[in-house]
């Protein structure tokens, strides 16, 4: 199951999707909005994506994970739009006959998602500034960002 | 050849446009597109060297030849998750 959603993620629904009598293990990962990054305070986050490509890349991740591990079922749900502190931006659930495969697949899925899926977050800092997060790029002096629309 | 290029995150912020139109002499590859984008939109300079291009929902390298009807997008470094 691959979903890009505007509403809060229901972790129970994600878990229910991967539940199976064939599974001996279910691993759930939630990425949540953190208040402090290197002593800088975040008030909220905004996420946007390239909907068609993000969906296609997530489908490719699912297929590759199923090829590498004996997965019973998996679910990846990514939230878009505005998130407050503590809210989940992403949920990944994997069920497999034995726990090691579920842990490994879950780790690989979130690591690879963060490298290849065209989704971006904007930090809304406590000092009133906002900034798109682009790993490896030095931020400009005074960013004035406006989050865009992303409706998958 | 006219190419419409989708812009996201800081690339859209810097250009103030969700789609930019670039004119290229044929044949043109992705490297030519990057040069044209930076000439036409010097404000993209902070992202120069970090711009990846996607064609029809897949990442492509600098040698990839562009076709007029392809869907082209600028993908700045991603930060989902």
Domain boundaries, chain A: 2-32+51-119
Q: How far apart are CA B62 and CA A135, in angstroms?
A: 21
Asked if the B2-75 domain carries CATH number 3.40.1400.10, the reply is no
pLDDT higher than threshold 50 for residue A118: yes
Question: Among the ranges A73-77, A134-138, A148-152, which has the highest mean pLDDT value?
Answer: A73-77
Encode pLDDT of B32-43 as tens digits: 999 999 999 999
Average pLDDT value for residue range A121-134: 96
**Is A53 a residue whose pLDDT tops 70?**
yes
Select from A126, A130, A127, A128 the least CA-distant residue to A48.
Answer: A130
Average pLDDT for residues B59-64, to the nearest whole number?
98
Name which of A72-76, A144-148, B20-24, B43-47 the model is least confident about: A144-148
pTM, whole model, 2 decimals?
0.92
Query: B78 — contact with chain A (CB < 8 Å)?
Result: yes
Using beta carbons and an 8 Å cutoff, which residues of A are at the interface with B? 31, 47-50, 52-54, 56-57, 78, 89-90, 110, 113-122, 132-140, 143, 145-146, 148
Q: Which residue from A118, A135, A140 is facing B75, i.e. has the nearest CB?
A: A118
CB contact under 8 A, B79 and A53: no
Tens digit of each residue's pLDDT (9 = 90 or more) over A94-112: 999 999 999 999 999 999 9
Q: Does residue B50 belong to the interface with chain A, where contact is any CB pair within 8 Å?
A: yes
Bigger pLDDT: A12 vs A138: A12
Angle, vertex CA A19, rays to CA A15 and CA A25, nearest 5: 90
- Residue A138's pLDDT is what? 79
CATH superfamily for domain A2-32+51-119: Molybdopterin biosynthesis MoaE subunit (3.90.1170.40)
Instruction: Please say if the pLDDT value at position B28 is more than 90.
Output: yes
Mean pLDDT to the nearest integer, B8-18: 97
What are the strands, taking DSSP E only, across B1-81?
A: 2-6, 19-23, 52-55, 58-60, 72-75
Contacts of A136 in chain B (CB under 8 A): 50, 77
Please classify residue A90 by burial: count the beta carbons closer than 10 Å to its beta carbon, then call 0-12 exposed, 13-18 middle and 19+ buried: buried
Residue in chain B nearest A133 by alpha carbon: B79
* Residue A145 reports pLDDT greater than 60: no
| Chain A residues with beta carbon closer than 8 angstroms to that of B44 | none
* ipTM beyond cut 0.90: yes
Return the pLDDT at A139: 67
> Where does the pLDDT of residue B65 fall: very low under 50, low under 70, confident under 90, or very high at 90 and above?
very high
Contacts of B79 in chain A (CB under 8 A): 114, 119-121, 132-135
């Amino acid at each position: 199951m691959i979903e890009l959603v505007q509403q809060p993620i229901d972790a129970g629904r994600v878990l229910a999707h991967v539940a199976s009598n064939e599974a001996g293990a279910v691993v759930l990962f939630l990425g949540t909005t953190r208040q402090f990054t290197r002593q800088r305070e975040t008030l909220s986050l905004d996420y946007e994506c390239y909907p068609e490509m993000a969906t296609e890349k997530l489908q490719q991740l699912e297929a590759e994970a199923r090829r590498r591990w004996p997965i019973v079922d998996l679910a990846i749900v990514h939230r878009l739009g505005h998130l407050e502190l503590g809210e989940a931006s992403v949920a990944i659930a994997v069920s497999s006959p034995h726990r090691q495969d579920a842990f490994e697949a879950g780790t690989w899925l979130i690591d690879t998602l963060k490298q290849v899926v065209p989704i971006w977050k904007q930090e809304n800092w406590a000092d009133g500034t906002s900034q798109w997060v682009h790993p490896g790029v030095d931020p400009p002096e005074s960013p004035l960002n406006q989050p865009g629309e992303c409706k998958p | 050849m006219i190419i419409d290029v989708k812009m996201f995150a800081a690339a859209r912020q810097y250009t103030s446009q969700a789609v930019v139109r670039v004119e290229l002499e044929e044949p043109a590859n992705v490297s030519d597109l990057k040069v044209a984008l930076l000439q036409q939109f010097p404000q993209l300079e902070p992202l120069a060297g970090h711009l990846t291009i996607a064609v029809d929902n897949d990442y492509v390298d600098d040698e990839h030849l562009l076709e007029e009807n392809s869907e082209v997008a600028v993908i700045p470094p991603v930060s989902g998750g």
